[in-house]
Amino acid sequence: MTSFQRSDFGEWPTHGLERVPACPLCGGGKRSILHAGLRDHAFRTAPGEWVLQRCEDCGCAYLDPRPDAATIARAYERYYTHGNEGGPTESDFARLRRRVAEAYLNARYGMSYPNAFPGGQHIARLFPRRRAYLDVSYARHLGPATGDNRLLLDVGCGNGAFLQFAAHLGWTAEGIDNDAAAVAAAHAAGCRVSHGSLDELPFGAGRYRHLTLSHVIEHVHEPLKLLRQCFELLAPGGRLWLQTPNLRSFGHDVFGPAWRGLEPPRHLVLFDRASLTAALAGTGFSGIEFRAHPGVTVFMWEQSRMIARASGRSARGMRRKLLSFALGVHVAELCEALRPDEREFLTCVAFRPEREEPAGA
């Protein structure tokens, strides 16, 4: 195993650490170390070395110790939530690809990206997987708004890109984010966004028809509390859309401690399908259904490979030595198609029931 240069990262201040003696999802105390010596190789912004524990009762994983609520902001100092499109480092190819995607989104969803590549929607027709990727990344399985209640809340909305998208589909879209810079960007784009957390702000119970949590639940100290809040904010029959890295993914199995989804110490809790289903059902959600998100595997594999190199961790096991990277991604995608439990992301929808079950039923 590699020895890390501690000076590269430094240590998290001891006073800013808190112990997590029991599983934050099920309360179980039985656990085993899944990975030790984890560092923030994804962003190289957070100091500290971290241990990820696997709960033997529900199957999730959690950091112990972890940054406490008072100091966690330190882990986000150079973290982006402001989108990565159109930045100064965008290559010519990436710019063309983005403009083709924008043409597709204009044609498919009635968006109005001004710099879309003329006729790009016809090019997009040649790439069904790319279209399917865009359908999930932008639309989050959201259809056009119908009926009287068209209120939507995006928790952790970043720069508001999804809110603008939802507004084009006829939704009255609101967002909340605790990153001041992201909120400022969203306001500049004309979005209705609040700065803070659900704890601090008076959002109306039973108000929303649709809620989205995109890569949020793994970041919070109290994931069950967040799910309860989401449940209460939804109107009866309302829908939650949630996406988070899948602890039991094929990519995690291959890359181990270098897997991009771990992202210590910003990811405090990681789910597999069973533990997420149990958390949602325990909160009262029903109709829980997992969906595919085409095209994310190659991104996650590229990132994981970079982390493996940056951390000096040698490729684990025979598989990575035998497979070229490109072939590896294809094998992973085939494996994920055959075994949906092993997709890179857990992408699911769940509903607040129209009628609540009586307590204890």
CA dist 269 and 251 (Å) reads 18
Least distance to Zn ion, CB of residue 256, Å: 21
65 binds Zn ion (CB under 5 A): no
Minimum Å gap between C-beta 275 and Zn ion is 7
- Stretch in the footprint of Zn ion (CB under 5 A) among 38-46, 55-63, 126-134, 227-235: 55-63
Partnered with residue 214 across adjacent β-strands are 243
Q: Near Zn ion by CB under 5 A, which window of 57-65, 99-107, 227-235, 276-284? A: 57-65
Q: Give 60 or 186: the residue with its C-beta nearer to Zn ion.
A: 60
Cα–Cα distance for residue pair 245/271, rounded to 1 Å? 7
Total of residues contacting Zn ion (CB under 5 A)? 7
- Bridge-based pairing of strands 61-63 and 286-291 is unpaired
Q: Could you say whether residue 28 binds Zn ion (CB under 5 A)? A: yes
Is residue 233 within a helix (H) or strand (E), and if so which, with residue range? helix 223-233
* 34 sits near Zn ion (criterion: CB under 5 A): no
- Among 12, 26, 62, 238, interactor with Zn ion by CB under 5 A: 26
Residue with tokens 């009762």: 57
The alpha carbon of residue 37 and the mean position of all alpha carbons in its chain are separated, in whole angstroms, by 23
CB of 56 to Zn ion, least distance (A): 8
Could you give the dihedral angle defined by the CA atoms of residues 265, 266, 268 and 272, in that order, rounded to the nearest 10 degrees?
-110
Piece of the chain touching Zn ion by CB under 5 A; list 48-56, 165-173, 238-246, 319-327: 48-56
Question: Is 58 near Zn ion (CB under 5 A)?
Answer: yes
Point out which span in 8-16, 26-34, 62-70, 226-234 binds Zn ion (CB under 5 A): 26-34
Quick check: bond before 245 cis, omega within 30?
no
29 or 143, CB closer to Zn ion? 29
Nearest CA-CA partner of 206 in 176, 241, 172, 232:
232
Q: Which of 16, 20, 37, 57 binds Zn ion (CB under 5 A)?
A: 57
- Nearer residue to Zn ion within complex by CB, 137 or 275: 275
The CA-to-CA distance between both ends of the chain, in Å, stands at: 51
* Among 79, 78, 70, residue whose Cα is nearest residue 17: 70
Read off φ and ψ for residue 18, nearest 5 degrees: -130, 145
Does residue 55 bind Zn ion (CB under 5 A)? yes
Q: How far is CA 347 from CA 41, 135, 194, 292, in A?
A: 25, 13, 25, 7
Q: With respect to Zn ion, which residue has the nearer C-beta, 99 or 248? A: 248
How big is the chain, counted in residues? Answer: 361
Q: Judge whether 336 and 246 are in contact, CB under 8 Å.
A: no
Minimal distance in Å, beta carbon 352 to Zn ion? 24
User: Cβ closer to Zn ion: 232 or 341?
Assistant: 341
Which positions from 6 to 25 touch Zn ion by CB under 5 A, shown as an x/- string?
A: -----------------x-x
Per CB under 5 A, which region of 11-19, 53-61, 153-161, 324-332 contacts Zn ion? 53-61
CA distances 58 to 26, 53, 98, 207, 263, Å, are 7, 12, 40, 32, 21
Which candidate, 161, 279, 170, places its Cα nearest to that of 231?
279
> Cβ closer to Zn ion: 58 or 348?
58
Question: In the complex, what is the shortest distance from the CB of residue 121 to Zn ion, in angstroms, rounded to a whole number?
Answer: 46
**Should residue 278 be labelled a site residue for Zn ion when binding is judged by CB under 5 A?**
no
Name the site residues for Zn ion (rule: CB under 5 A). Answer: 23, 25-26, 28, 55, 57-58
